[in-house]
Amino acid sequence: MDVGSSTEGLRNNAVSRVNLRARGVTIHYWVERANAAFLAVDGIDVDIQEGEFVAILGPSGCGKTTFINAVSGTQAISGGSLTLDGKSIEGPGPDRAMVFQQASLLPWRSVRDNVLFGAQMQRRLGREESARRADHLIKLVGLGGFEKAYPSELSGGMQQRVNLARALATNPRMLLLDEPFAALDAQTRELMQDELLRVWEEEKTTALFITHDIKEAVFLADRVIVFSARPGRIKREVQVDLPRPRGRETRRSDRFREIEDLLHDSIQEEVLAAAKRELARGAA
Amino acid sequence: MTDRAAQREAATRDAVETRVSATPDRIPGQPGPIARYERAIIGTVSVVSFLIFWEVIAQIRLMPELFLPGPSDIWRAYLVLLKTNTLGRDIWVSGQELLVGYGLAIVVGLPFGLLMAWYKRLGFALDPFVNFFFATPRTAMFPLFLIWFGLGLGSKVAIVFLGAFFPIVINTIAGVRNLDPALIRMARSFSARDWDLFRDIVLPGSVPFILSGCRLGLGHALISVVVGEMIGAEAGIGLMMANAGSVFQTARVFVGITIVAGAGVILTLILQKIEARFQSWKPQP
């Protein structure tokens, strides 16, 4: 397998330490209706280096969310091994924090109390220290002045900022982002991508970002991993050598377009494959 | 550019300018000066008119007083009852039965419902009982309670408890089942323990359902107190009404009705205040 050898190569040359290591990760689902097991993710081998920003790109329903749930520890794997800093992932832990596709804010908590929620659950920080960090993060994600607002008073983009700050407030070794901007309008999404990179440059946390948006993957990541249509397998890995910090010019650069085209062809095949399968199932 | 096009352009420009500079006489949708009190004014007028209408009908004695006393007759009956000194005792007895039974129903029903909804298997085990009791008219159990707990407070507390308990349990269960699963997943991913989930998500998230269960339960509790006392009691508003009814002291029956209704209105208002307190985070309509 060329994918396997490429990750081996990475491991040998790597100067920085490996943060997340997946070996042959396979995940099955039990589907009540069909009364059968269902293969969602099949044999994933990935190494993510410390401080690296990796995007997993794939068509919807390809198992990429299932995979990131396994990394977060809320989804059990049925085969292979998944380790973080050499420790096997058995469940949720304070070394990882997730930014969700739906903001998932507690509507009865203010912005500040929502940002503190994760740290509070993990019993990580002292009351005063966490409050100080929360205030710093609220400013960092651009919500200064909204500390006392309730989620219902915020726009979708602002809610996602809280979602991000909540994850960062736990000071994770690894930041997991599950299509956090998918539900936003195009302008807000680009703005949030800029903001995410700005925050990330400051925090330099290892990040795993799930998306079905090619531009988003290229703009954000150091490396893009393309998942095939169901079951999720690694189809291709592409290093994104665009210089950082990235901004408006990055999106307009020729190199950006080149990488985008490359990924586009790759993912198009998968989208078609997935569509064909849907049609076949519809006919059956 | 044609003349017409130029004209149209000029018209658009004018329209834009007017729109910006003009101060409107009245903004559509802006409430007028009395709109804020409209509800209170119309409500009061409607109630007062009804009382006057009732008094007039009663005073021209279309029906004998025995059959339909007017508001002033009821007021007089109320004063007489107060003098005889038994009314205070009746209110005290009924109030005790209501508050103890209802309070117990909340204190027991709330955790009961939360646990049943949270622990699936506990729910499976207890669902048949809850369904059985909820479907049975609880007042049908009263003869049994009279045998078990006697004519005094005990039997009424039991019937009030049973009346209020099930609406509270069933609503609490519905509240927990209606929680946004995304919130539970979020909390789990941050290593929340069961107790954290209970305190920070399950309880606050199901408060609206729990409180509407409490309000439903209150209605049942009031019914239970009155009916229970009518069937078997040594004192209480229900007993007083039953006795008055049996000797055609109709005005006294009405006194009982107003006291029970008053208690219901006051307790409902308190519940609404609590509800408002818990929901300050909701978007204001």
Give the angle A17-A210-A167 at the CA atoms, nearest 5°. Answer: 70
A121 and A44 part of one domain: no
CB-CB neighbours of A89 under 10 Å: 21
Distance from CA of B150 to the nearest CA of A (A): 46
The average confidence (pLDDT) of chain A is 85
Task: For domain B78-278, give its CATH number from 3.30.300.20, 1.10.3720.10, 3.30.460.80, 1.10.3210.10.
Answer: 1.10.3720.10
**Between vectors from CA B16 to CA B12 and to CA B17, what angle results, nearest 5°?**
115
CA distance B191 to chain A (A): 5
pLDDT of residue A4: 38
For residue B90, how far is the Cα from the chain centroid? 23
The answer to whether residues A190 and A153 belong to one domain is no
Q: Which residue has the tokens 């007759």?
A: B73
A54 lies in the same domain as A133: no
**Whether residue A135 is found in the same domain as residue A250:** no
Q: Side chain identity at A109, as an amino acid letter?
A: R
B83-126: per-residue pLDDT in tens? 887 888 999 999 999 999 999 999 999 999 999 998 889 999 99
Question: Chain B residue with minimal CA distance to A178?
Answer: B186
> Are A108 and A231 found together in one domain?
no
Phi, psi (rounded to 5 degrees) for B284? -75, 130
How far B111 CA lies from chain A's nearest CA (Å)? 21
Contact A106 B183 (CB under 8 A): yes
Q: What is the mean pLDDT of residues A33-58?
A: 89
Quick one: pLDDT at residue A5? 39
Residue A151 belongs to what domain range? 104-171
Compute the average pLDDT of residues B270-277: 87
A90 lies in the same domain as A127:
no
Helix crossing, B153-177 with B142-149: angle to 10°? 130
Chain A residues near residue B206 by CB distance under 8 angstroms: none
Can you give the pLDDT at residue A8?
Answer: 41
- Indicate the residue among A142, A171, A200 that finishes a domain: A171
Same domain for A146 and A9:
no
pLDDT in tens, B155-182: 999 999 999 999 999 999 999 999 999 9
ipTM of this complex prediction, to 2 decimal places: 0.82
Write out the two tokens for A210.
Answer: 């799930």
Chain length of chain A: 284
Specify whether the CB–CB gap between B170 and B130 falls below 8 A.
Answer: yes
A154, A171, A188 - which closes a domain:
A171
Given this model, what pLDDT does residue A114 score? Answer: 93
Give the angle A123-A124-A127 at the CA atoms, nearest 5°: 80
- Nearest chain A residue to B183 by CA: give it: A104
SS3 A93: coil
Residues A166 and A182 in one domain: no
Query: Taking 60 as the threshold, does the pLDDT of residue A240 lie above it?
Result: yes
Strand order across the beta sheet in which A206-211 lies:
A96-99, A174-178, A206-211, A53-57, A223-227, A234-239
More confident call, A238 vs A274:
A238
Phi, psi torsion values for A67, nearest 5 degrees: -65, -45
Residues A25, A41 contacting (CB under 8 angstroms): yes
**Residue A112, CA distances (Å) to A159, A169, A283, B247, B255 in order:** 12, 11, 52, 66, 53
Gap between the Cα atoms of B167 and B223, Å rounded: 14
CA separation for the pair A228, A41 (Å, rounded)? 10
CATH of the domain at A34: 3.40.50.300
**Which residue in A111, A117, A164 has the most chain B C-beta atoms within 10 A of its own C-beta, making it the best mutation to test that interface?**
A117
Same domain, A32 and A90: yes
Phi and psi for B92 in degrees, rounded to 5? -60, -45
Q: Is the pLDDT score of B134 beyond 60?
A: yes
* A106 to B191: CB separation less than 8 angstroms, yes or no: no
Q: What sign has the CA pseudo-torsion B203, B208, B214, B217?
A: negative
Higher pLDDT, B18 or A122: A122
The domain segmentation of chain B, as residue ranges, is 38-67, 78-278
A128 and A82 co-located in one domain: no
At residue A14, the pLDDT reads: 43
Q: Clarify whether residues A111 and A212 are in a common domain.
A: no
- What total number of domains does chain A contain? 2
Partners of A209 in the beta sheet? A55, A177
* Mean pLDDT within B203-208: 88
Per-residue pLDDT band for B21 (boundaries 50, 70, 90) equals low
Based on the fold, state whether residues A209 and A265 are members of the same structural domain.
Answer: yes
